[in-house]
Structure 1
Amino acid sequence: MAFGEQPAYLRVAGDLRQKIVAGELPPHTRLPSQARIRQEYGVSDTVALEARKVLMAEGLVEGRSGSGTYVRAQPVLRRLIRTGYRTVDDCTPFRQEQADETVRGTWESSSIQEEATSDVAARLLITPGQRVMRTRYVFRAANEPTMLSTSWEPLAITGRTPVLLPEEGPLAGRGVVDRMAAIDLVVDNVVEEVGARPGLAEEMLALGGCAGHAVLVISRTYYAGGRPVETADVVTSADRYRVAYHLPVR
């Protein structure tokens, strides 16, 4: 193969990709069979199979057991808006995380006490093994799952207080800032790190995506006077969302 020349499987995948983007192979259309690809492009079975794998990895097609490979309907791209903390009437976890403020969202949650892993402990500036409250959320809009969130709060801060459980008690669902204020801690800083990785099988199952497809991960930590009071990972499908930051200029 000459320098700069693409491997055969990438050339085949590129041509099929162009047909999908141009609408020649619209959503829910069956992708040409391996034998058809081999015949049309004059390639081997191995090349045809690798080309299909490329399109599957890109999320353009999906396999259906016993039926074949079909073009996927591409989701409508939405923005995951990050504006920092705002005081609003509906100051719920969904209001803090949701992508579209015009959409009324719902969520499910569950909380459990556990020992902090080394990663969580490093984020909370505590010793590994110290007790934390872990809360997992599934957020939905229009009955569709949109994002997942897992948060951890040190029990050294919230234990034996009315805000021990984020979704129970007098400030249930009020969000970290209001809950910490109720125990005389003023949240004055938030740090977020945004990254991407392949989605775990259980994450993609919950989000309605394909296993192995990329997810966006926003790792967020709330601080009060330099002390971390909560850290969380917000996970959403990378092919459905773009993170948009609206930051005030001071």
Structure 2
Amino acid sequence: MTFGEQPAYLRVASDLRRKIVNGSLPPHTRLPSQARIREEYGVSDTVALEARKVLMAEGLVEGRSGSGTYVRERPVPRRIARSGYRPPAGANPFRQEQAAEGARGTWESSSEQEPASASVAGRLGVAPGDRVMRTRYVFRDSGEPAMLSTSWEPLSITGRTPVMLPEEGPLGGCGVVERMGAIDVVVDNVVEEVGARPGLAEELLTLGGVPGHVVMVIQRTYYASGRAVETADVVVPADRFRLAYHLPVR
């Protein structure tokens, strides 16, 4: 192989990918067998197998037990709007996470006290082991799992107050800004960092992905006068959604 030349398995995967993208191999079509790939491209069984693995890792094909490998339906990505503007008072958690007007999704949640891990403690500016309230969410759009969120709030701020449980009490489900305001904590800043990584097995099981699928992770932290009052990881399937940010110009 000369400098700059692709390995054989990538050349095979590239040609099969092109056929999938241009419709020559439409969704639900069975991918050529390993033997067929070997004969058509003049490659070894090992190269044919590695090419199929590449397409699987990219989420273009999926294996069906006892049947073979098939081209997956390619979802049309939908937009999840993020905004620098505060959500309106009383906004529900789904509306808070997706700033688009008309976001009317449903969600499930559960809260539990736990000691802060080293990473969570660092984000909240508390000591590892300090008590925090962890809340996990599954957000659904038209019944389809759209995103996951895990948030942590220091109980040194919310403990023994009416807003200790984010989804219960008089302000349950109202969002961080309004809930904190009710205990005289004025949220004045929010920071979001967006990254991507392979989805964890339990995340993909909930979101409906397959092993190897990439997720976007929004690491969000709310601040009041420089003090972190809530931090969260929001997980979104990268193949089904796009993040769109609307930020105010000052």
Superposition TM-score, scaled by structure 2 size:
0.97
The answer to whether the Cα contact below 8 Å between 2:196 and 2:216 also exists between their aligned partners in 1 is: yes
The answer to whether the Cα contact below 8 Å between 2:82 and 2:100 also exists between their aligned partners in 1 is: no
Deviations 1:201-249 (A, max 9, x none): 0000110011221110000000011110000000011111222111111
Shift of 1:85: 3.9
Shift of 1:84: 2.5
Distance 2:36 2:153 in 1: 56
Distance 1:85 1:249 in 2: 11
Deviations 1:83-126 (A, max 9, x none): 12434365011001137533420000000000000000000000
Superposition TM-score, scaled by structure 1 size:
0.97
Shift of 1:75: 1.1
Secondary structure of 2:177's counterpart equals helix
- Residue 191 of structure 1 is matched in structure 2 by 191
- Residue 116 of structure 2 is matched in structure 1 by 116
Shift of 1:148: 0.1
- Pair 1:147 & 2:147 matched: yes
- Pair 1:45 & 2:45 matched: yes
The answer to whether the Cα contact below 8 Å between 1:85 and 1:96 also exists between their aligned partners in 2 is: no
Amino acid corresponding to residue 152 of structure 2 in structure 1? W
- Residue 15 of structure 1 is matched in structure 2 by 15
The answer to whether the Cα contact below 8 Å between 1:205 and 1:211 also exists between their aligned partners in 2 is: no
Distance 2:158 2:119 in 1: 20
Shift of 1:3: 1.2
Secondary structure of 1:104's counterpart equals coil
- Residue 33 of structure 2 is matched in structure 1 by 33
Change over 3 Å in CA distance of 1:43–1:80 after alignment to 2: same
- Pair 1:200 & 2:200 matched: yes
Amino acid corresponding to residue 39 of structure 1 in structure 2? E
Secondary structure of 1:19's counterpart equals helix
Change over 3 Å in CA distance of 1:202–1:48 after alignment to 2: same
Distance 1:137 1:87 in 2: 18
Change over 3 Å in CA distance of 1:207–1:97 after alignment to 2: same
Amino acid corresponding to residue 142 of structure 1 in structure 2? S
- Residue 223 of structure 2 is matched in structure 1 by 223
Change over 3 Å in CA distance of 1:190–1:89 after alignment to 2: closer
- Bigger shift: residues 91-100 or 157-166: 91-100
> Structure 1 stretches (4+) deviating beyond 4 angstroms?
none
Distance 2:39 2:99 in 1: 45
Change over 3 Å in CA distance of 1:74–1:90 after alignment to 2: farther
Over the residues paired in the alignment, what is the CA RMSD in angstroms?
Answer: 1.1
Aligned residues: 250
Q: Which runs of 5+ in 1 are unaligned?
A: none
Shift of 1:198: 0.7
Secondary structure of 1:79's counterpart equals strand
Amino acid corresponding to residue 131 of structure 1 in structure 2? R
Distance 2:90 2:13 in 1: 47
- Pair 1:156 & 2:156 matched: yes
The answer to whether the Cα contact below 8 Å between 1:136 and 1:148 also exists between their aligned partners in 2 is: yes
- Bigger shift: residues 88-97 or 234-243: 88-97
Amino acid corresponding to residue 86 of structure 1 in structure 2? R
Change over 3 Å in CA distance of 1:87–1:41 after alignment to 2: closer
Identical-residue share of aligned pairs (%): 78
Secondary structure of 1:236's counterpart equals strand
